[in-house]
Structure 1
Amino acid sequence: MSTVLAILKEIAQAPGLLKELYGDLAKPGVSQVGKALGSVLGLGNTILWPITLMNEKANIALKRNLEKYREQIKEVPEDELTEVPPEIGVPITEKLSYVTNEELSNLYVNLLAKASTFKTAESAHPSFVNIINNLSPDEALLLEQFRDTDALPYVEARLVKKDNRNQWLTVAELLTDLRVDKLAFPDNLISYLSNFEGLGLIKIRKDIFIVNDALYDPIEKRNLPLFDLIQYSKETHEPELKRRKIEITSFGQLFIKACLSSLKDQIQQEN
């Protein structure tokens, strides 16, 4: 190891780094941070934190994200803390030095906090870091609507041949009740859902639906006028809204539990 890297590693492992980050070592939660991240400080990108803190923009991002982490674990008794595994801690701390989007940084911080206690460490899977890495800010925001449920309704709008109902033309394949008004790119909704499916968080089912008319009625009422906007022969085809469902996988439910809720919320739910 070069002399420079050796010096940086020593600085990164010292209490002085925590003082630089938090201002006061006696501040509630700082000792917990030191214990939980003890196996991480000095590894990977954390070795460069002293240099990172010299960059104003990076300084703000790192301090803000680590402050959110301190807030989450400050009330955890030290005997309930465990060292964060490097395979989780190293890639997350790297992201915390430059991720500024609130939704994405919350996912990283929540996961890091869960990996910091004996009670919740089992829910913090290393693969979840890569899942977050592959999410856009819009997708992180959209995921909030997948909490506290195992399935969401959607309908497929299509024109079905009257003489052969096994033949149809798809007008719109994925019409949901998901709110998109806060998304930066609402037209990308289908792409976002496809990404969720590719990451193993959901399954877009075409073979089954939720047995609950109340879930589908608003979607169908809102989208029935679609058929008035297209030209088709009413003698040969008729409109149909086929009910389907988006299924949150067991893996997706674990991810949501670990990354979307705070440490305090998860502990309260389990007690």
Structure 2
Amino acid sequence: MEAGKELIGLVKDVPQVLTSIYQDLAQPGVKKVGTALETVLEFSTSILLPVKLLNEKFKLNFEKRLNDYKEKLDTIPEEDICEVNPQIGTPIIDKLSYTTNDEIADLFTSLLTKASSSKTVNLAHPSFIQLIERLSVDEARIIKHLLNKDFIPCISLRAHMKEGNRGFMEILKNGTSLQTELELLFPQNISTYLDNLTSMGVLDISHQLHKMDENIYNNLYEQYEFEKVNESYTKTGAFSKVEKKKSYYQITDFGKSFIKACSFEKIKN
């Protein structure tokens, strides 16, 4: 019976759902959260969020996400805080309510923070929410790594058959150094990650171009042991040479916008 009364109270007082998370609503940081999310919470909490908040495990997770968001809002001057458009705020609050991975949640809270400031609200596009949903943890790490970058160098290696046979064997396709620059859970899936980011429009490699500066590719030749690979294939007698092809993944303008919107950078004075 008491649980029923608590539920009725939460549903009836939906806009005040923050009171179930924060005891002191007068804190400057909490006031910023309330200002930015006032309308969003009215739309978000109809009945589902208050009901979920009765679950202690759910409440702890949601409180953690709100605190992360609050800390990011603390870097924004109070006069720049604006009310988040429910079109972007409502689905993000919903995702944060059950997102347990910190790195994926960080992308959501960073995007929500961008939507909470009059200086950056133009960066927060609703379509970015669906893109974050399509990311694995490793891909979230790649996204953060690509902030302020323009391209990712890559090489391919092809073993060409002896004269008279125009065929070739593809040894390596679009190999990058990302798996050595980042701590990935599944580095062996790097090709899948890059294909996914390309399908999302974040990356593009359809240009068939390469950078003129050879130094950009030297570390990749060493990483993939080109000299050893070339020797091992040519000494079999079946192949005449191993060809190295240079290219790069271009970070698209759309991709740069997405990465910037989902990355947290403290405002520089």
Indicate the TM-score class for this superposition, using the shorter chain for normalisation: 0.7 to 0.9
- Give the letter for the 2:258 counterpart: F
Residue matched to 2:142: 142
CA distance in 2, matches of 1:160, 1:5: 70
Closer, same or farther: CA 50–229 of 1 in aligned 2, 3 Å: farther
- Contact preservation (8 Å) 2:161, 2:239: yes
**SS of residue matched to 1:69:** helix
**SS of residue matched to 2:188:** helix
Quote the RMSD (CA, aligned, Å).
2.6
- 1:186-206 Cα offsets, whole Å, 9 max, x none, are 111101101001111001246
Residue matched to 2:160: 160
CA distance in 2, matches of 1:37, 1:237: 65
- Contact preservation (8 Å) 1:40, 1:46: no
**SS of residue matched to 1:246:** strand
* Cα deviation, residue 142, structure 1: 1.9
- Contact preservation (8 Å) 2:7, 2:51: no
CA distance in 1, matches of 2:210, 2:223: 19
- Contact preservation (8 Å) 2:230, 2:241: no
Residue matched to 2:98: 98
- Contact preservation (8 Å) 2:38, 2:83: yes
- 1:108-147 Cα offsets, whole Å, 9 max, x none, are 0000000011110000111000000111111101222212
CA distance in 1, matches of 2:90, 2:124: 14
CA distance in 2, matches of 1:147, 1:109: 16
User: How many positions carry a matched residue from both structures?
Assistant: 261
* Cα deviation, residue 163, structure 1: 4.6
- Contact preservation (8 Å) 1:45, 1:90: no
- Contact preservation (8 Å) 2:82, 2:116: yes
CA distance in 2, matches of 1:189, 1:131: 18
- Give the letter for the 1:212 counterpart: D
Closer, same or farther: CA 44–126 of 1 in aligned 2, 3 Å: same
**SS of residue matched to 1:95:** helix
- Give the letter for the 1:81 counterpart: I
Residue matched to 1:243: 246
2:29 paired with 1:10:
no
- Contact preservation (8 Å) 2:233, 2:242: no
Q: Which ranges in structure 2 are unaligned for 5 or more consecutive residues? A: 1-5
- Contact preservation (8 Å) 2:158, 2:168: yes
Closer, same or farther: CA 179–235 of 1 in aligned 2, 3 Å: closer
- 1:217-255 Cα offsets, whole Å, 9 max, x none, are 011122113345557754752011110101000000001
CA distance in 2, matches of 1:230, 1:47: 65
- 1:164-213 Cα offsets, whole Å, 9 max, x none, are 89753211112111135622211111011010011110012461112222
- The 10-residue stretch of structure 1 (69-78 or 161-170) with the greater mean CA deviation from structure 2: 161-170
- Give the letter for the 1:255 counterpart: F
CA distance in 2, matches of 1:182, 1:46: 40
Residue matched to 1:211: 212
- Give the letter for the 2:251 counterpart: I
- The 10-residue stretch of structure 1 (170-179 or 194-203) with the greater mean CA deviation from structure 2: 170-179
Closer, same or farther: CA 147–46 of 1 in aligned 2, 3 Å: farther
Among residues 252, 261, 264, which one is paired with 1:261 in the alignment? 264
Closer, same or farther: CA 24–168 of 1 in aligned 2, 3 Å: same
* Cα deviation, residue 78, structure 1: 3.6
CA distance in 1, matches of 2:229, 2:28: 57
- Give the letter for the 2:37 counterpart: L
Provide TM-score, normalisation by structure 1: 0.87
CA distance in 2, matches of 1:163, 1:148: 46
Residue matched to 2:255: 252
- Contact preservation (8 Å) 1:32, 1:73: yes
CA distance in 2, matches of 1:214, 1:164: 34
- Give the letter for the 2:155 counterpart: V
- Give the letter for the 2:49 counterpart: W
Q: Which ranges in structure 1 are unaligned for 5 or more consecutive residues? A: none
CA distance in 2, matches of 1:152, 1:103: 22
